[in-house]
Structure 1
Amino acid sequence: MHKPQRTEDAAGAVPDGDPAEESEAARRRRRAQFLRELHEAKELRNRVQPRRARAERMRQALRMRTFRW
């Protein structure tokens, strides 16, 4: 027989687990998944709303130009 796997809820938390015992690898894995989904959502938005996407790119470029290193 195999051990039952601990499942995560929608927020990514282990139901009966202490947050302090959560492994760094699990946190990094969830973060990587979130960033992948965020990037995918931004790409979809850029395809669906090209004018807004262009305006957002312009605003981002302006923010980057005004940022002081």
Structure 2
Amino acid sequence: MPDREFHDTPSRDGGPETDSENWTDAERRRRRAQFLRELAEARALRARVQPRRAKAARLRRAMRMRTFRW
């Protein structure tokens, strides 16, 4: 694969080269929505693959919500 071009990725140390500073609000919302869709899909897959663990997690979450004081 010598003909493939490799580009340097932007640094994540907070320098001026980070792409996140240049995102518009619409782009940020679109990327966030995509992330949340993928997260929901991963959780659904985990629930199908490990039903007992998913049920226990659901029950723990329900208990937390019942004991939470508004």
Tell me which amino acid in the other structure corresponds to 2:58: R
Q: Which runs of 5+ in 1 are unaligned?
A: 1-8, 10-14
Q: Which runs of 5+ in 2 are unaligned?
A: 1-8, 10-16
**Which structure 1 residue ranges, 4+ long, deviate > 3 Å from structure 2?**
15-18
Name the SS for the 2:69 alignment partner: coil
Report the TM-score when normalising by structure 2. Answer: 0.70
Task: Count the aligned residue pairs.
Answer: 55
Report the TM-score when normalising by structure 1. Answer: 0.71
Q: Which has the higher contact order (CA 8 A, sep 6+)?
A: 1
C-alpha spacing 1:50/1:22, structure 2 compared with 1 (3 Å): same
Larger radius of gyration: 2
Counterparts of 1:1-69 in structure 2 under 5 Å?
A: 17=19, 19=21, 21-69=22-70
